[in-house]
A and B are shown apart, each in its own frame.
Chain A
Amino acid sequence: MVVDDHPIWREGVARDLGERGLEVVATAPDAKAAVRIAPAVRPQVVLMDLNLGETSGVEAITGIVGALPQTRILVLSASGEHADVLEALKAGATGYLVKSASVDELVDAVHRTAEGTPVFTPGLAGLVLGEYRRLAQSPGGEPAVPALTDRETEVLRLVAKGLTAKQIGERLVVSHRTVESHVQNTLRKLQLHNRSQLVRYAIEQGLAE
Chain B
Amino acid sequence: MLQRAPSLTPAGTLIDVDHPLEPLWRGAVVYRVLTLLTVIGVSAFHMREYASPVGAVVVLAVMVVWTAVQARVVLSTGRDVRAPFAVADVVVSAGIMLTTPLIVTAAQLDASVPGMGSIWTSGAVLSCAIAFRVPGGLAGAAVISAALVLGKSRATLTELSDIQVLVLAGLTVGFASLVLSRAAERLRRAAAEEAATAERERLARAVHDGVLQVLAHVKRRGAELGGGAVELGVLAGEQEVALRTLLTSGDAEIDESGQRDLAATLRALSSARVTVSAPAHSVELPAATVGELDAVVRAALGNVERHVGPEAPAWVLVEQLDDAIEISVRDDGPGIPAGRLAEAETEGRIGVARSMVGRVADLGGSVELETGPGRGTEWIFRVPGGTA
Instruction: Using CB atoms and an 8 Å cutoff, list the residues of chain A in contact with chain B.
Output: 4-6, 8-9, 12, 16, 51, 53, 78-83, 85-86, 99-100, 102-103, 121-127, 129-131, 133-134, 137, 157, 160-162, 171
Contacts and interface: CB of A to CB of B under 8 A. Distances in A.
B271 to A, nearest CB: 11
A196 B91 CA distance: 76
Contacts of A137: 322, 387-388
B313 to A, nearest CB: 7
Interface in B173-223: 205, 208-210, 212-214, 216-217, 219-221, 223
A100 B322 CA distance: 34
Contact of B208 (A4, A79, A100, A123): A79
A133 B320 CA distance: 7
B275 interface: yes
A86 B223 CA distance: 30
B213 A6 contact: yes
Nearest to B317: A160
Nearest to A127: B280
A12 B330 contact: no
Contacts of A161: 277, 315, 317, 328, 330, 378
A5 B277 contact: no
Contacts, number: 118
A9 B277 contact: no
Nearest to B272: A100
A21 to B, nearest CB: 16
Contacts of A123: 275-277
B89 interface: no
A80 B209 contact: no
A53 B321 contact: no
B278 A100 contact: no
Interface of B: 205, 208-210, 212-214, 216-217, 219-221, 223-224, 237, 240-241, 244-245, 247-248, 267, 272, 275-281, 313-315, 317-322, 328, 330, 332, 375, 378, 387-388
Nearest to A126: B277
Given A78-B208, A129-B319, A162-B332, A100 B216 contact: yes
A157 B272 CA distance: 21
B381 to A, nearest CB: 13
Contacts of B245: 80
Contacts of A79: 208
26 contacts: A5-B209, A8-B217, A9-B213, A9-B214, A12-B220, A16-B220, A78-B240, A78-B244, A80-B244, A80-B267, A82-B278, A82-B279, A99-B216, A100-B219, A122-B317, A126-B277, A126-B278, A126-B279, A131-B280, A133-B319, A133-B321, A160-B277, A161-B378, A162-B313, A162-B314, A171-B375
Contacts of B210: 6
B205, B314, B317: residue with the most chain A Cβ atoms closer than 10 Å:
B317
